[in-house]
Amino acid sequence: MENFDITDNLSFMKIEILETLRLVMDPELHINIIDLGLVYGVKIDEPNKQINIEMTLSSSYCPMGESILSAVKNCVESHYADYKANVELVWEPVWSYHSITDEGKRLLGI
C-alpha cells in the first residue's frame, strides 16, 4: 500500500486513486480489492498521462481474475478520463491472508 510522501507532488493523486479502487469488488468475496490487499502500488506517468497499477490476485487460478483486472482498468479510466490505465499483474510478493486490512478482516468475519 502507498504511503503519503509530502515531497512527491503526485502523492495525493495516488492516495485518491487507491481510494477510488475501493469501488472494485472481488465478485466472490464481495469485498473491495484494497481491503483484500490485492493492490501493491500506483505509479503515475504524468507526461504520458498513464496510471500504472501493480496488483496481484489471491490465487493464480482465480476464476474471476480477468474480470477484476478489467474492472480496475475501467474504474481508473472512468475516474481519470485524461489518463490511460495499465494494470500489471504480479505474483511477488505472494498474496496471503496477512495482506488483508483490519477492515477487510472485519468484513470477512475473521
52 and 88 Cβ atoms separated by less than 8 Å: yes
Instruction: DSSP letter for 45, please.
Output: E
In whole angstroms, what is the distance from residue 50 CA to residue 31 CA?
A: 27
- Residue percentage of the chain with pLDDT more than 70: 94
User: Where are the domains positioned within the chain?
Assistant: 11-99
CATH superfamily of 11-99: Fe-S cluster assembly (FSCA) (3.30.300.130)
Q: Global pTM?
A: 0.89
**Cell 503519503, residue located:** 4
**Cell 487460478, residue located:** 61
pLDDT per residue as tens digits for the range 89-102? 999 999 999 999 99
For residue 6, the model assigns a pLDDT of 66
